[in-house]
Amino acid sequence: MNMIRTALVAGVVAVTASMTFSSANAAGDAPHAPEHHWSFSGLFGTYDRAALRRGFEVYNGVCAGCHSLRLVAYRNLMDIGFTEAEVKAIAADVDVPAEPNEEGEIEDRPGIPADKFKSPFANENAARASNGGALPPDLSLIIKARLNGSNYVNGLLTGYTDAPAGEEVPEGMYYNANFSGHLIAMAPPLSDEGVDYADKTKATVKQQAEDVVTFLTWAAQPELEERKRMGIKVILFLLLMTGLLYVLKRRIWADVH
Amino acid sequence: MAQFQKPGWLDNGLVRWVDHRLPIFTFVSHELYEYPTPRNLNYWWNFGSLAGIILVIMIVTGITLAMHYTPHTAMAFDSVERIMRDVNYGWLLRYIHMNGASMFFIVVYIHMFRGLYFGSYKAPREILWILGVVILLLMMATAFMGYVLPWGQMSFWGATVITNLFSAIPLVGDWIVTLLWGGFAVDNPTLNRFYSLHYLMPFVLVGVIVLHIWALHVHGSNNPIGIDTKGEQDVIPFHPYYTVKDMFGLGVFLVFFSLFIFFAPDYLGHPDNYIEANALATPAHIVPEWYFLPFYAILRAVPANFVGEWATAWMGLVFIEAKLAGVLAMFGSIAVLFVLPWLDRSPVRSSRFRPLYKWFFWIFLIDCLVLGYVGAKPAEGVYIAIGRVATIWYFAHFLVIIPLLAKFEKTKDLPKSISEPVLGGGGGSASAAASKPMEKV
């Protein structure tokens, strides 16, 4: 039948074209990030709330020493199950510059939920000066800013190994199996029992990596759950509407065929 | 049997009062209810109206995004993230707009390949086709400038690479580049003028599309058989037949579109554009959006060291720089579309009756996909060779194969009319074989 043939042709073209698309983004030479099953992947995926909470603890206790999270506000933590009191306490833990006072001097005040996460360094130069010239990137969008971002960051955090025999690792660099070129300026950030989880989960490197990646994925895509929920509804509606339109089309065309 | 009837509402008193002064209702009736459309259009004919609908979606989401966007190099990136995070349904608006650009190109490319397959560019539809190519060019300019606005790394470096191409133009090149930049590098003035033009161009597009549809409605749609309609038995009114068919097609398309918006919103984009623009850090590979990849491949196919630093071009016997040769090839790949109606002198429109052209059409389609694939790869190794062969084939298809086919191809006999193969039992080809060859084509 004509329609089947048309659909077949369209399918072949679509598959070929999608191979072209994916090749567009796979131009890099980075090692392939190991696959991992995430709570938020798939059509119905949602963020594991406990992992988000632990992930925040990892970010706050480890990553935040060098990496900013400048697009996320403390108040956003309320979207993932932190209570208002908890968020107020977390925000108040940092001091941020206040508005100029009556004398025109700028003093520090405790943070409030409306503040964005405080950056560890005042500016890029300060960040580079403290990190041997390397700039620790902001983590707000890191998951979206890397191909296959969640797997990539997870692979990076768990990819530290000893360099293979014969490979020279220069001073201030570290060997990472999952980093492009294998030499990275970031020291291995995670260590077993490096954080004390409030929920008493055993803090292996693997566990911490998984938790902080979940947290950072949320930081990059806070809309993910709402988006997928809405998507299911929209597509179900469209399928129903399209089905009805097809019936209508058949009826209207009945006298032509 | 389909009836051509004026709609009942034309007899309404108020409608008649208005229509007597401004015949807008007569116009609608004439262009929809009485507009004769070939009865045999297949689903490939859905993509024109689909493209129009996407343009409307783009304008509506674009205007809304513009209410929240800040065109300043220091704030553009953050303002987009504010839309994503803090504006109500801002993520939805942006993902619709971002993926809508890709959808627009998918639909328009299918629409164009439809035209190529069924010979829709042939007399008397040459101007209709040319306006379509103008629409493509405007879309490309609009999409390119829109991609700069989020001010990510690919925005910045894409803008730098593409605007620099104009410097290859002899004499006025540098002046044009300075004008595009509003300075001596891609910077705040560039972002501002691109924003202004990105807002303006869709409305220019609307104007050209009106002309495109006007030209369409003079002779009506081409059809899969590619022969002219020969009377009432060959045509049906556009409304309700094709309005409902278009609506059904729109539904199918929206499902496809929604899969991207809701479940893979960044699949068609580049991760580097989530890194803020930085003039001091060049990305490892600067890659344009997927819909420009075939043209990007053609641009890079011209050897950078084509007879040393300079290359002799036979046309006009002038010296042209290799960079200029690449730019000319890239623009030439679209320019050749403008003259296609005069390159293809075969009197038969539809590939169904052109046994050789049909094959070359599919090879050409594959060639374009290969160009797209090469465009995404770094310009090194085997990709350079593949890119060159595919580029040569692209131009040979239009400049050599199509003119030769028009001369030497033995086309199949055309059916007498559209209604004959449609109404006759069996498939179109069976009735086509049964019908007598046309005396004149």
ipTM: 0.91
Contacts of B124 (CB under 8 A, 6+ apart): B218, B219
Question: For residues A24 and B290, is the Cβ–Cβ distance under 8 A?
Answer: yes
Question: For residues B77 and B276, is the Cβ–Cβ distance under 8 A?
Answer: yes
Residue B368 reports pLDDT greater than 80:
yes
Per-residue pLDDT, B380:
86
B140 touching A, CB under 8 A?
Answer: no
What average pLDDT score do residues B90-116 get? 98
Per-residue model confidence as pLDDT tens digits over B309-347: 444 444 444 445 667 888 999 999 999 999 999 999 999
B109 touching A, CB under 8 A?
Answer: no
B272 touching A, CB under 8 A?
Answer: yes
The closest CB to that of B255, out of A6, A76, A238, belongs to: A238
Question: For residues B276 and A7, is the Cβ–Cβ distance under 8 A?
Answer: no
Q: How far is A147 from chain B (nearest CA, A)?
A: 6
Instruction: State whether A27 and B287 contact (CB < 8 Å).
Output: yes
Q: Which of A135, A96, A133, A134 has its CA nearest to residue A113?
A: A96
Per-residue model confidence as pLDDT tens digits over A79-107: 999 999 999 999 999 999 999 999 999 99
Instruction: State whether A230 and B259 contact (CB < 8 Å).
Output: no
Q: How far is B374 from chain A (nearest CA, A)?
A: 9
- Contacts with A, B 293-352, CB within 8 Å: 293
Per-residue model confidence as pLDDT tens digits over A112-127: 999 999 999 999 999 9
What average pLDDT score do residues B110-125 get? 97
B271: left (phi over 0), alpha (psi -120 to 50) or beta: alpha
Residue B177 reports pLDDT greater than 70:
yes
Residue B420 reports pLDDT greater than 70:
yes
Instruction: State whether A245 and B376 contact (CB < 8 Å).
Output: no
The closest CB to that of B271, out of A20, A25, A76, belongs to: A25
DSSP-assigned letters across all residues of B355-389: HHHHHHHHHHHHHHHHHHHHHHS-S-THHHHHHHH
B33 touching A, CB under 8 A?
Answer: no
Per-residue model confidence as pLDDT tens digits over B31-86: 999 999 999 999 999 999 999 999 999 999 999 999 999 999 999 999 999 999 99
Write the single-letter amino acid at B155: S
Model confidence, pTM: 0.91
The closest CB to that of B373, out of A20, A245, A249, belongs to: A20
Instruction: State whether A28 and B284 contact (CB < 8 Å).
Output: yes
Residue B307 reports pLDDT greater than 50:
no
Contacts of B373 in chain A (CB under 8 A): 19-20, 23
Instruction: State whether B255 and A239 contact (CB < 8 Å).
Output: yes
The closest CB to that of B274, out of A145, A231, A249, belongs to: A145
Instruction: State whether A255 and B1 contact (CB < 8 Å).
Output: yes
B158 touching A, CB under 8 A?
Answer: no
Instruction: State whether A144 and B252 contact (CB < 8 Å).
Output: no
Give catalytic residue positions of B: 217, 221, 245-246, 289
B80, B274, B362: best mutation site toward chain A, by most A Cβ within 10 Å? Answer: B274
Instruction: State whether B265 and A227 contact (CB < 8 Å).
Output: yes
Per-residue pLDDT, A19:
57
Per-residue model confidence as pLDDT tens digits over A126-166: 999 999 899 999 999 999 999 999 999 999 999 999 999 88
Tokens found for residue B267 = 């699949």
Contacts of A144 in chain B (CB under 8 A): 266, 271, 274
B290, B362, B370, B382: best mutation site toward chain A, by most A Cβ within 10 Å? Answer: B290
HEC string of B296-326 equals HHHHHHCCCCCCCCEEECCHHHCEEEHHHHH
Q: How far is A126 from chain B (nearest CA, A)?
A: 18
Per-residue model confidence as pLDDT tens digits over A194-241: 999 999 999 999 999 999 999 999 999 999 999 999 999 999 999 999
Instruction: State whether B245 and A249 contact (CB < 8 Å).
Output: yes
B281 touching A, CB under 8 A?
Answer: no
Residue B432 reports pLDDT greater than 50:
no
Question: For residues B275 and B75, is the Cβ–Cβ distance under 8 A?
Answer: no
Q: How far is B420 from chain A (nearest CA, A)?
A: 13
What average pLDDT score do residues A68-85 get? 97
Instruction: State whether A141 and B252 contact (CB < 8 Å).
Output: no
Q: Which residue of B has its CA nearest to A246?
A: B248
Instruction: State whether B275 and A141 contact (CB < 8 Å).
Output: yes
Contacts of A248 in chain B (CB under 8 A): 244, 247-248
Contacts of B376 in chain A (CB under 8 A): 20, 23-25, 27
Contacts of A255 in chain B (CB under 8 A): 1-2
Q: Which residue of A has its CA nearest to B93?
A: A227
CA angle A226, A231, A232 (to 5 degrees): 105
Q: How many helices (H) and strands (E) does chain B have?
A: 18, 4
Instruction: State whether A238 and B258 contact (CB < 8 Å).
Output: yes
What average pLDDT score do residues B9-23 get? 95
Say how many CB pairs under 8 Å bridge A and B.
125
Cα gap B142→B244, rounded to integer Å: 31
Per-residue pLDDT, B324:
85
Per-residue pLDDT, B433:
41
Mean pLDDT across chain B: 91
Instruction: State whether B272 and A145 contact (CB < 8 Å).
Output: yes
Contacts of A68 in chain B (CB under 8 A): none
Question: For residues A255 and B237, is the Cβ–Cβ distance under 8 A?
Answer: no
Per-residue pLDDT, B314:
45
Sequence-ordered alpha helix ranges (H) in B220-321: 238-258, 293-301
Contacts of B426 in chain A (CB under 8 A): none
Q: How far is A152 from chain B (nearest CA, A)?
A: 12
**All structural domains of chain B:** 32-222+232-285 (1.20.810.10), 287-412 (no CATH)
Contacts of A216 in chain B (CB under 8 A): none
Instruction: State whether B262 and A227 contact (CB < 8 Å).
Output: yes
Which residues on neighbouring strands pair with residue A89, listed in sequence order? none
The closest CB to that of A146, out of B81, B92, B271, belongs to: B271
Confidence of residue B406 (pLDDT cuts 50, 70, 90): very high
Per-residue pLDDT, B427:
44
Which residues on neighbouring strands pair with residue B311, listed in sequence order? B320
Residue A31 reports pLDDT greater than 80:
no
Cα gap B361→B398, rounded to integer Å: 11
Instruction: State whether A253 and B245 contact (CB < 8 Å).
Output: yes
Cα gap B347→B356, rounded to integer Å: 14
Residue B439 reports pLDDT greater than 60:
no
Question: For residues A188 and A208, is the Cβ–Cβ distance under 8 A?
Answer: no
